Amino acid sequence: MSTTENRGQFGSKLGFILSAAGSAVGLGNIWKFPGKAYFCGGGAFLIVYLIIVALIGTTVMMAEFTVGRKTHKNAVGAMRELNSKWSWVGGLGVLTGFIILCYYCQVGGWAIKYIVAYITDVQTVWADPTAYFLNNLLGADGTFPVQGAVIYPFIFLALTAYIISHGTAGIEKMSTILMPVLFIMLIGLMIRACTLPGADEGLAYMLHVDFSTINGVAILTALGQAFFSLSLGMGVMMTYASYLSNEDNLVSNTAIVCTLDTMVALFAGFMIIPAVFATGIAPGMGGGFGFATLAGVFMAIPGGQFVGMLFYFLLFFAAITSSTSILEGTIAFLVEEKGVARKKALVVTSVIIFIVGVLYTLSQAHMNLKGIWLSGSGVTFPIFGDFLEYLTDRLLLPAGAFFTTLFVGWVWGTENSIQEATSNGKFKFSLAPIYKVIVKFLDPIAIGAIIVAGMVFDMAIS
Ligand code: PHE
């Protein structure tokens, strides 16, 4: 196919799987998931999460994969080709990705800052971990956080853009190196955490199943987490699959990517929660968790400086293999739909993302780790930071997934999607009848419910 060749293609099966898994495995798994599992009841939450991934996550991913691979186009072009009235759904995805990147690159930058700090100056971080995080990264003491808001996020974004400037080859090369390293590091850190004295209490917490802890908020949290974690609802998986050859098996790819992503989330949970129990630190949530709270854990364990440094490398690798996927979604759209040259699209997009991102970090300065308003210091953009996350996690990602499943279920049609998934019957897909029913009914209903419920309740945990 000449169009496919012009726009690049993944070089190997494994390259695609590791790249898609690289997109899925990110800050969502390592930084968000453990806290949610802890607060939503441990073992019972894990079971709810697994059921949601198995039923909803896999089917939405398959729907996205089939649309992308069928058309070999970016999200907007793909939807347009299948039905011109629906191209705005792809546009919504591109917009969502753009907004997510604004804060994703800031947090990715913080991971680099902490790698450097753990290597060169860990005593200063440990002297007062919360103050270090609030002042150095967010500028809560009234100083301009030049490192947290500008320098390190800039480095992170520049690396992301550099990798993307090499197209699919860049993504594939990075993912085939970083993803195996990430897995090995994660398993090592998990073993370290689980063998700490006192870790068994944390393990018991994660394995104890008590369904009385599962309420509406826990289910909605699990659903929203699954989308974010599997990179669904914004056309990223569609764009990645568009670089895949027609000979690749989308059924097994969906299963492998969902399994890898979920394994990493579980491993991260079994790394962080036992460590937190062993060191007696009260787990917190939100931005400070991965930075301020975990510093207490690293301080308390033998070899904590080295373990901490490894952890931030892990966070950085996870973040950059995701940020590149999001940026690729936007760039593929600008290049293919708007005719912008790739380099120019990269520079312009990165500059805007960077500016909005700086404002994001500055806007956090007036909130402490619990989101409580701190008056007085710093530059004020009070609700800006919260607003971006609210908009993407609770509204835009679920909305993107909702419209994608409506589109595949009722407009393009599940038969077409199944034909594509199996490469016209070449591959086996014994669960096809179940896929049909889920995409048509369960997905839109369940996802519609998160959107409505998310707007109605102010979810304590997001
Ligand atoms: N899945 C990534 C994570 O878990 C984030 C992401 C969301 C990436 C949406 C792409 C699209 O961090």
Residue range 405-429: average pLDDT? 95
- pTM over 0.75? The answer is yes
Residues shown for the chain: 462
- Partnered with residue 367 across adjacent β-strands are 373
What pLDDT does 279 receive?
A: 81
What pLDDT does 347 receive?
A: 96
Question: What 3-state DSSP class applies to 367?
Answer: strand
Q: What is the pLDDT of residues 352-395, one digit of tens each?
A: 999 988 888 877 765 544 444 444 444 344 445 567 777 787 78
Atom of ligand 1 nearest to the CA of 27: 12
CA distances from 240 to 231, 243, 312 (A): 11, 6, 27
| Pocket around ligand 1 at a 6 A CB cut-off | 23-24, 26-29, 100, 228-229, 231, 234, 236, 322, 325-326
Share of the chain above pLDDT 70, in %: 91
Ligand 1, atom 7: nearest CA belongs to which residue? 231
Ligand 1, atom 11: nearest CA belongs to which residue? 231
Q: Is 459 left (phi over 0), alpha (psi -120 to 50) or beta?
A: beta
What pLDDT does 136 receive?
A: 86
What pLDDT does 418 receive?
A: 97
CA distances from 299 to 128, 281, 426 (A): 11, 11, 55
What pLDDT does 459 receive?
A: 47
What pLDDT does 460 receive?
A: 44
- Rounded-to-integer distance, Cα 240 and Cα 82, Å: 17
What pLDDT does 288 receive?
A: 64
Atom of ligand 1 nearest to the CA of 233: 9
For residue 6, pLDDT over 80 is answered with no
Positive or negative CA dihedral for 65, 429, 22, 226? positive
Residue range 162-190: average pLDDT? 92
CA nearest 164: which of 325, 23, 3? Answer: 325
Atom of ligand 1 nearest to the CA of 31: 12
For residue 458, pLDDT over 80 is answered with no
For residue 70, pLDDT over 70 is answered with yes
453: confidence class by pLDDT, cuts 50, 70, 90: confident
Token pair 């709270």 is found at: 293
Question: What 3-state DSSP class applies to 373?
Answer: strand
What pLDDT does 264 receive?
A: 96
- Rounded-to-integer distance, Cα 429 and Cα 9, Å: 24
Share of the chain above pLDDT 90, in %: 63
Ligand 1 site-directed mutation target among 92, 105, 322, most atoms within 8 Å of CB? 322
Exposed/middle/buried for residue 375 (C-beta within 10 Å: 0-12, 13-18, 19+): exposed
For residue 287, pLDDT over 90 is answered with no
Of residues 187 and 394, the one with the higher pLDDT is 187
Report which residue type is found at 93: G
For residue 301, pLDDT over 60 is answered with yes
- Rounded-to-integer distance, Cα 391 and Cα 274, Å: 32
167: confidence class by pLDDT, cuts 50, 70, 90: confident
For residue 454, pLDDT over 70 is answered with yes
C-alpha count within 13 angstroms, C-beta hemisphere, residue 97 = 33
For residue 27, pLDDT over 70 is answered with yes
Q: What is the pLDDT of residues 103-156, one digit of tens each?
A: 899 999 999 999 999 999 999 999 988 888 888 888 777 778 889 889 999 999
Winning range, highest mean pLDDT, from 21-30, 36-45, 282-291, 434-443: 434-443
Mind giving me the DSSP string for 240-295? HHHTS-TTS-HHHHHHHHHHHHHHHHHHHHHHHHHHHHHHTPPP--STTIIIIIHH
Mind giving me the DSSP string for 430-453? TTHHHHHHIIIIIHHHHHHHHHHH
Q: Average pLDDT of the chain?
A: 87
CA nearest 1: which of 72, 101, 89? Answer: 72
For residue 216, pLDDT over 50 is answered with yes
Distance 57 CA to ligand 1 centre (A): 13
- Rounded-to-integer distance, Cα 95 and Cα 330, Å: 8
Ligand 1, atom 9: nearest CA belongs to which residue? 231
Q: Is 136 left (phi over 0), alpha (psi -120 to 50) or beta?
A: alpha
- Rounded-to-integer distance, Cα 368 and Cα 364, Å: 8
For residue 2, pLDDT over 70 is answered with no
For residue 439, pLDDT over 90 is answered with yes
Of residues 74 and 450, the one with the higher pLDDT is 74
Residue range 179-188: average pLDDT? 92
- Rounded-to-integer distance, Cα 408 and Cα 440, Å: 8
Atom of ligand 1 nearest to the CA of 228: 7
CA nearest 140: which of 355, 358, 296, 367? Answer: 367
Report which residue type is found at 55: L
Of residues 90 and 382, the one with the higher pLDDT is 90
